[in-house]
Amino acid sequence: GKTVERIAAGEVVERPASVVKELVENSLDADATRVSVAVESGGKDGIRVSDDGIGMTESEVRKAVQEHTTSKIRDIEDLEAGVTTLGFRGEALHAIGAVSRLTVETRPRGGGRGTKLRVEGGEVTTVEPTGCPEGTTIEVADLFFNVPARRKYLKQDGTEFAHINDLVTSYALANPDVAVSLEHDGRETFATTGQGDLQSAVLSVYGRDVAEGMVDVVRATDSDGDDETDDRREGPLDGVSGLVSHPETNRASREYVTTYVNGRYVRSATVRDAVVEAYGNQLAPDRYPFAVLDLSLPGDTVDVNVHPRKMEVRFADAEGVAEQVRTAVEDALLREGL
Ligand code: ADP
Ligand code: MG
């Protein structure tokens, strides 16, 4: 019954940032060109994610909040390879609804009626027609109101918001063609235009002082070897690309290294440390670089599902990866005479 459900929900929903992650991924999956995130009190009191995606019909939204329902089983191979955005398919909305007060307002793209559906602690309490724009808005209020042990374990607003900010930032940088915005307690943290490239997304997220000096890291593999400037060393990576900050543009009190592996956002201390190392003694004490890096490597040399919720990654040859990242960043800085 309900207890089991709430325990299971804890696997999916660890903190406000995990709710944000699932909702933003759903919006991106729904072909949105705009995703707006607004949270209250570090997400503990409220989380709202709104998109202009394909939306849902009434019967689709009813289904969406049920257990193990997804419209996205692409193919069996995908599932077997674990190449899914979620560790468990079709569970997120259901799990979130089990531990909060959830409201979905949605209207299918290209016509059809709007529907408002409410779930409280796992029970669907309201389904009614509503007037709303095309797309979907999901509000999650009172996260863990019925799981006091979890609620108590949540950190201060600022800490919970920092997790959310990291996450939304990473989606904004990975999707420069989507207008992504973030608001905390009514104040806008950042908003990207959705019209640009990585450079303009970095500008929107981190500001001009960081964006201006960014150095392009291009170390894409050219397997036919016709690129004379390709002095790439042997290693596990097929390529490294992205942007790293100018050694002098470091207002950061910690590293802002956003890493994607084969297009997927991950957290990697290996990559982060390698980037910092590449700057050597060019970094003043307590000043850290900004970087956005996309690594590509053969799927069988990396495990991105070690812990899907925590976005951890394991490289078969972590030392090799570190070496290649460090070299690529060093070379990029050298090319700019830095
Ligand atoms: P999954 O994403 O794994 O399919 P979820 O529980 O996250 O599972 O979502 C269930 C279903 O609800 C999705 O498959 C999708 O059909 C629908 N859905 C959720 N969010 C949105 C959204 N923002 N726009 C359109 N459809 C959505
Ligand atoms: Mg989902």
Q: How far apart are CA 217 and CA 291, in angstroms?
A: 10
Q: How far apart are CA 260 and CA 241, in angstroms?
A: 10
Tens digits of per-residue pLDDT, 13-30? 889 999 999 999 999 999
With DSSP H G I counted as helix, E B as strand and the rest as coil, what are the percentages for the chain, rounded to 5? 35, 25, 40
Q: Tell which atom from ligand 1 comes closest to the C-alpha of 92.
A: 6
Distance 120 CA to ligand 1 centre (A): 18
Residue 134 has pLDDT above 50, yes or no: yes
The band of 232, judged by pLDDT with boundaries at 50, 70 and 90, is low
Distance 85 CA to ligand 2 centre (A): 7
Residue 322 has pLDDT above 50, yes or no: yes
Distance 182 CA to ligand 1 centre (A): 21
Say if ligand 1 is within 6 A of residue 51 CB. Answer: yes
More confident residue, 228 or 188: 188
Q: How far apart are CA 21 and CA 331, in angstroms?
A: 34
- What Rg value do the Cα atoms of the chain yield, rounded? 21
The band of 258, judged by pLDDT with boundaries at 50, 70 and 90, is very high
Distance 70 CA to ligand 2 centre (A): 8
Say if ligand 1 is within 6 A of residue 49 CB. Answer: no
Residue 85 has pLDDT above 50, yes or no: no
Tens digits of per-residue pLDDT, 270-317? 999 999 999 988 877 777 889 999 999 998 899 877 766 667 889 999
The three-class DSSP label of residue 46 is: strand
Q: Which residues have C-beta under 5 Å from ligand 2, the single-atom ion?
A: 26, 92
Mean of the pLDDT values across residues 251-265?
A: 82
Say if ligand 1 is within 6 A of residue 30 CB. Answer: yes
Residue 244 has pLDDT above 90, yes or no: yes
State which of 24, 66, 71 you would mutate to test the pocket of ligand 1, scoring each by most atoms of that ligand within 8 A of its C-beta. Answer: 71
The three-class DSSP label of residue 108 is: coil
Tens digits of per-residue pLDDT, 26-74? 999 999 999 999 999 999 999 999 999 999 999 999 999 987 666 765 5
Q: Tell which atom from ligand 1 comes closest to the C-alpha of 95.
A: 6
